[in-house]
């Protein structure tokens, strides 16, 4: 195992990797419940989405572990599931809508066999790469604060401080203080230990009630895709070209952005390039294609993987641990559902890893507005719009503009121009 995952070369151990995998899983685990809740609005049976979510996560994350050797978890992405519901709301049934996910996954898979996505990573300006890491950090920190209601909605200012007398809010704040204190003291597995402590406290505070622990997995009624040719016919007959393009663009940049952020934080990106990038980028393409067959929206590399990196994860053993935990969770739905219902358990980790990921802003040249403004737009809009893809889009659109007016248009990679145009089309005509 040490030789296969190159643990010594990455200055890590089996214990550290497993602990990091458990940490990432606990911060990702909410998707097993949240994804079915969102997609069930499209009329899909809850249990079917639940198992499809797990299957796609296991397949995508296992590929990431064994083929790419990266500590990154893959699962159906937030935002993509909400967009799927809007496709169904446009007048097509959910099985037909899954055809657009499947076709996007197949195209995604074919692109991943080429050097296109690897070249795309190399083409992204360093300032945008740093901004992507910071923006995703703010995004997941904001998600953590919102889930725990430390930050709440407000009609006048959009957001406001939550009720500090609320036991759940207080428990979240305690969890943040506990976890960050353990990290400052260099305690191994600080984030995971913090989660365990908060879980125990939650139980004694009566926030957790167990009605059961084990239940056999239920795959639902049938598969969404049984004939690989029929989805392409569905796309043509229903005119779902816009849905396919939207799924494709959002998935490409959600995963690419997250991979840049997490690998940059883990020190795995060398000179702006990723080793085994092609294999890593195949993981979400395979997960998306398989997920569509079983009944879930596209998969993406999860920004929450940063929690495992912060806990010391550096190799695919972390990802393999995540995959195993997803597989095991299919037998423990009642238990998992109860624990994931207490945001105070996972929110502190999201807030703290957001803090850690903000360090990349130091690499941005803030005195050069042609670099600083696009980077700032990425960092600002990811949390404010609740979309990693939107932040990326606005960054790609604004970068060529600032470079043009600074007289540096020729320094911009052609890929950046191409995707700036594609993002304009996606934002203004396909959203």
C-alpha separations of 258 from 5, 22, 121, 254, 387 in Å: 21, 19, 11, 6, 12
- pLDDT reading at 101 higher than 70: yes
DSSP secondary structure letters along 259-280? HHHHHHHHT-EETTEETTHHHH
Ramachandran sector of residue 318 (left: φ over 0; alpha: ψ -120 to 50; beta: rest): alpha
Task: State pTM to two decimals.
Answer: 0.75
> Which residues, 6 or more positions from 155, have their beta carbon under 8 angstroms from its beta carbon?
none
- pLDDT reading at 38 higher than 90: no
- Which residue's structure tokens are 């790469």? 129
d(CA 416, CA 396): 6
pLDDT at 20: 93
- pLDDT reading at 71 higher than 80: yes
- Tell me the pairing of strands 299-301 and 74-76: antiparallel
- Per-residue pLDDT averaged across 364-384, rounded? 94
pLDDT at 294: 93
- pLDDT reading at 3 higher than 70: yes
pLDDT at 209: 78
Domain ranges of the chain: 14-212+220-359
Tokens for 410?
A: 């020729």
pLDDT at 167: 94
pLDDT at 219: 67
Whether residue 327 contacts residue 57, with contact meaning beta carbons closer than 8 Å, is answered with no
d(CA 77, CA 250): 10
Whether residue 72 contacts residue 299, with contact meaning beta carbons closer than 8 Å, is answered with no
For 206-310, where are the E strands, in sequence order?
A: 269-270, 273-274, 299-301
DSSP3 helix / strand / coil % (the chain, rounded to 5): 70, 5, 25
pLDDT at 150: 95
Tokens for 368?
A: 């050069």
Tokens for 322?
A: 């995540």
- Per-residue pLDDT averaged across 357-376, rounded? 93
Of the CA atoms within 13 Å of residue 176, those in its CB half-sphere come to: 20
Closest CA to 294 of 214, 218, 241: 218
Closest CA to 363 of 122, 125, 130, 128: 130
- 3 state SS of 301: strand
Q: Return mean pLDDT, the chain.
A: 87
Pick from 130-134, 334-338, 371-375: least confident? 334-338
- Per-residue pLDDT averaged across 177-187, rounded? 90
pLDDT at 41: 82
Ramachandran sector of residue 312 (left: φ over 0; alpha: ψ -120 to 50; beta: rest): left
- 3 state SS of 159: strand
- pLDDT tens digits, one per residue of 298-337: 998 888 888 898 888 999 999 999 999 999 989 887 776 6
- pLDDT tens digits, one per residue of 138-171: 988 888 898 899 999 888 888 899 999 999 999 9
- 3 state SS of 367: coil
């Amino acid at each position: 195992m040490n030789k296969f995952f190159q643990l010594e070369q990455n200055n890590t151990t089996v214990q550290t990797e497993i602990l990091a995998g458990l940490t990432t899983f606990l911060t990702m685990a909410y998707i097993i419940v949240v994804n079915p809740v969102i997609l069930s609005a499209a009329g899909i049976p809850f249990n079917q989405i639940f198992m499809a979510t797990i299957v796609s996560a296991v397949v995508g994350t296992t590929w990431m572990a064994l083929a790419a050797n990266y500590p990154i978890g893959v699962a159906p992405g937030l935002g993509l599931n909400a967009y799927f519901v809007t496709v169904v709301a446009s007048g097509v049934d959910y099985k037909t809508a899954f055809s657009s996910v499947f076709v996007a996954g197949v195209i995604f898979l074919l692109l991943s066999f080429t050097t296109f996505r690897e070249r795309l990573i190399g083409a992204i300006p360093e300032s945008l790469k740093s901004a992507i890491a910071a923006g995703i950090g703010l995004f997941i920190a904001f998600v953590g604060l919102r889930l725990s209601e430390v930050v709440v909605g407000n009609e006048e200012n959009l957001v406001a401080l939550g009720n500090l007398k609320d036991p759940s809010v207080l428990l979240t704040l305690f969890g943040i203080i506990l976890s960050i204190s353990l990290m400052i003291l260099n305690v191994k597995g600080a984030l995971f230990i913090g989660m365990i402590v908060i879980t125990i406290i939650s139980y004694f505070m009566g926030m957790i009630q167990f009605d059961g622990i084990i239940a056999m997995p239920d795959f639902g009624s049938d598969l969404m895709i049984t004939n690989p040719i029929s989805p392409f016919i569905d796309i043509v007959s229903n005119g779902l070209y816009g849905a396919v393009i939207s799924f494709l663009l959002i998935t490409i940049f959600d995963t690419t952005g997250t991979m840049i952020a997490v690998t940059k934080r883990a020190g795995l990106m060398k000179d702006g390039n990723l080793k085994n990038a092609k294999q890593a980028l195949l993981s979400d393409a395979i997960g998306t294609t398989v997920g569509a067959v079983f009944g879930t929206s596209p998969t993406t590399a999860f920004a929450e993987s940063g929690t495992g990196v912060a806990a010391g994860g550096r190799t695919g053993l972390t990802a393999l641990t995540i995959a195993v935990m997803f597989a095991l969770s299919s037998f423990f739905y009642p238990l998992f559902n109860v624990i994931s219902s207490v945001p105070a358990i996972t929110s502190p980790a999201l807030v703290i890893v957001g803090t850690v990921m903000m360090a990349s802003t130091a690499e941005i040249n803030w005195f050069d507005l042609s670099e600083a403004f696009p980077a700032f737009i990425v960092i600002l809009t990811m949390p404010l719009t609740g979309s990693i893809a939107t932040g990326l889009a606005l960054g790609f659109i604004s970068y060529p503009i600032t470079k043009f007016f600074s007289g540096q248009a020729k320094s911009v990679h052609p890929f950046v121009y191409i995707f700036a145009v594609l993002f304009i089309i996606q934002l203004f005509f396909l959203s």
